[in-house]
Amino acid sequence: MDLESIEAELYGLAPEDFIAARDQYAAAARKENDRPLAAKISALRRPTLAAWASNLLARAEPEQVAGLLRLGEGLRQAHEQLDGPQLRELNRQQHGVVAALARQARLLAAEAGHPVGEDVQRELEETLHAALADPEAARHWASGRLTKALRPPVGTQFFAGTETDAAATAGTRRKPTAAEPAPTVRRAPARDSQVPTAQEAKERRRQEDRRQKLVHARQEAEGAEQRARLRQDELRQAEARREQAERLQRELDERVAELAEELKAAQERQRTARSDLDAARQEAAEAGRIAQKARRDAQTARARAERLEGS
């Protein structure tokens, strides 16, 4: 029993079966006195619904996984090389691939008995975008052992979506290498003073402050949305556990009622048996008295016969 094989099995289970199976493996490890392994198993976290659906996809569609990883490598390379035409083409491809794979994951989840909504599908798409943007996230996703949805790293641009964005990124000037001459830069006619005016400096500070506030607000909104999605998944899982507990309670109530009826019937049979036993005891006592009287009568008759024989 090793951690890798246990993880591979656990993260292929339905979310509601994860905890029981994990605890069973941890108990088995403790029974074998392998407490370090038991601690590692106990530390494994149950996947969210979006992570579980992503794991389903990664396990069920290995060819699609390989294709997405290749697309991610191409996108990252085109972005590093600022290859505008290639970046626009790969950017166009990625939207179709991500949408198709997210729909496939949603279908697999429904077939496995856990239909997912639009919120979870958005988390699926974000996970796929993260796999495209970050090679480490790609390896994590391809392993099929996610515990929560992935988010694209802050600052990545090639997955943002539009060809205009790609072209703008590709048009960004890169620094010349040692083998390349520095490009000639056309400078605007110099002003009398290179120092910005107080009004310009104030306007720049105001714009920078607005930009920082906007970035902070967007980050807070994204964090709030992610927390809301996590809470929604936890709610769905809690409701599933509640339904399972209610179903078990109904079954136990029915069994208790059956046992109560069986007990009532057994008690009735017990009363009948006691009555029969009392009657049998009375009959036995009466038969004993009759037998004893018969023995006395026999002894009396024998004694009378002996006397007659002797006279």
My answer on whether 56 and 162 are in the same domain is: yes
Whether pLDDT at 44 is above 50: yes
My answer on whether 19 and 52 are in the same domain is: no
| Top-confidence residue, 168 or 36 | 36
Whether pLDDT at 19 is above 50: yes
Domain-located, residue 154: yes
Whole-number Å distance between alpha carbons of 222 and 135: 22
Q: How confident is the model at residue 234, as a pLDDT?
A: 77
- Taking a C-beta distance cutoff of 8 angstroms, is the pair 225, 119 a contact? no
The tokens describing 137, both together, are 């996230």
Instruction: Give me the number of domains the chain comprises.
Output: 2
Whether pLDDT at 236 is above 90: no
| Domain endpoint, select from 172, 196, 227 | 172
Domain-located, residue 213: no
| Top-confidence residue, 234 or 296 | 296
My answer on whether 57 and 20 are in the same domain is: no
Considering 71-80, 87-96, 189-198, the range whose residues carry the highest mean pLDDT is 71-80
Q: How confident is the model at residue 222, as a pLDDT?
A: 66
Q: What is the CA radius of gyration of the chain?
A: 42
Whether pLDDT at 219 is above 80: no
pLDDT, tens only, 98-122: 888 888 888 999 988 888 888 888 9
Whole-number Å distance between alpha carbons of 84 and 90: 10
- Taking a C-beta distance cutoff of 8 angstroms, is the pair 159, 79 a contact? no
Give 211's pLDDT tier (boundaries 50, 70, 90): confident
Domain-located, residue 222: no
Whether pLDDT at 190 is above 60: no
My answer on whether 152 and 59 are in the same domain is: yes
- Taking a C-beta distance cutoff of 8 angstroms, is the pair 53, 105 a contact? yes
Q: How confident is the model at residue 22, as a pLDDT?
A: 94
Helices 135-142 and 118-133, packing angle to 10 deg: 120
Whole-number Å distance between alpha carbons of 272 and 284: 18
Domain-located, residue 288: no
Whole-number Å distance between alpha carbons of 235 and 238: 5
Closest C-alpha to 22, from 35, 40, 36? 40
My answer on whether 119 and 144 are in the same domain is: yes
Contacts of 64 (CB under 8 A, 6+ apart): 57, 101, 104
pLDDT, tens only, 76-93: 776 666 656 655 666 666
End-to-end alpha-carbon separation of the chain, Å?
A: 105
Domain that holds residue 19: 3-42
**Long-range contacts for 170-179 (Cβ within 8 Å, ≥24 apart)?**
170/82, 170/83, 170/84, 170/87, 170/88, 171/82, 171/84, 172/82, 174/82
My answer on whether 113 and 21 are in the same domain is: no
My answer on whether 112 and 15 are in the same domain is: no
Contacts of 13 (CB under 8 A, 6+ apart): 21
Q: How confident is the model at residue 52, as a pLDDT?
A: 94
pLDDT, tens only, 116-161: 888 888 999 999 988 888 888 888 888 899 999 998 876 554 444 4
Give 230's pLDDT tier (boundaries 50, 70, 90): confident
Whether pLDDT at 169 is above 60: no
My answer on whether 27 and 63 are in the same domain is: no
Q: How confident is the model at residue 183, as a pLDDT?
A: 39
My answer on whether 69 and 17 are in the same domain is: no
| Domain endpoint, select from 150, 172, 194 | 172
My answer on whether 79 and 162 are in the same domain is: yes
Closest C-alpha to 76, from 136, 118, 36? 136
My answer on whether 57 and 103 are in the same domain is: yes
Q: How confident is the model at residue 171, as a pLDDT?
A: 41
My answer on whether 29 and 103 are in the same domain is: no
The tokens describing 261, both together, are 């009826």
